[in-house]
Amino acid sequence: MVRRPVAWIVAVVLLAEAFGIAAVNWFLGMVVDRQKMSLAGLDPDVMSTSSKVGGVVFGLYFALCALVALLVGIRNRAPAGFGRVLLVSAAVVHGLLGAFAWGLIGWNAFAFMVVVLALIVLLLMTYDRADGPEQAAGGGGAGEGGDPRAQAGPEAAPAAAPGPVQIPEQRGAPRDGEAEPQDPAPAQVTGPAPTTE
């Protein structure tokens, strides 16, 4: 099975990224604070604080994504709900970072971002492909991961409760609140009277 190793690798890589991004932004905030740098007239203290806060926020975001991947590896189940949304958003962020890294840093950073993006997508796709057909064709019962409504056999189908039988409504029959229908044809048709010559 390749699913669990991929989940472990994704968890380790995202955790390393969380610490790396937080450390780099914190370091840049310290440099701006000590050098009293300013960009377009901005206050150096505001720049330093925003860099540190951004580093902490992005670090926590990637750490949370790493926790989701770690739980996927431990439970050996596909991510669902908020965890799935986090992993999909992490894949999108790595795609955008890879596009920016190609122009700003170089192909090495781009290749790293693409590899992490491929690992996250592989994690999501392997669990989808493995869980879908097995549940659809699974022979397990209700307690073994199978769908209890998909059990084969006549005994599995619930017996229908007896109820009133509906008779199809006849054409021209009177409905509630309506008068008797008028027949356009006469009730008795008489032939022509015989003539004697």
pLDDT at 48: 82
Average pLDDT over residues 168-182: 58
> Would you say how long the chain is, in residues?
197
- pLDDT tens-digit readout, 139-158: 444 444 444 444 454 454 45
Mean pLDDT of the chain: 74
- pLDDT tens-digit readout, 1-31: 677 888 888 889 989 989 988 998 888 888 8
What is the distance between the alpha carbons of residues 116 and 58, in angstroms, rounded to a whole number?
Answer: 16
- Of 22, 11, 123, whose CA–CA distance to 64 is shortest? 11
Q: Are 102 and 114 in contact (CB under 8 A)?
A: no
CA angle 126, 12, 118 (to 5 degrees): 40
Where does the pLDDT of residue 128 fall: very low under 50, low under 70, confident under 90, or very high at 90 and above? Answer: low
Q: Which two tokens stand for residue 169?
A: 């409504």
What phi and psi, each to the nearest 5 degrees, are found at residue 46? -65, -40
Q: Are 161 and 154 in contact (CB under 8 A)?
A: no
Neighbour count for residue 130 (Cβ, 10 Å):
15
What is the distance between the alpha carbons of residues 129 and 78, in angstroms, rounded to a whole number?
Answer: 10
Return the SS3 of 36: coil
More confident residue, 191 or 131: 191
Distance of CA 112 to the CA centre of its chain: 26
Neighbour count for residue 196 (Cβ, 10 Å):
3
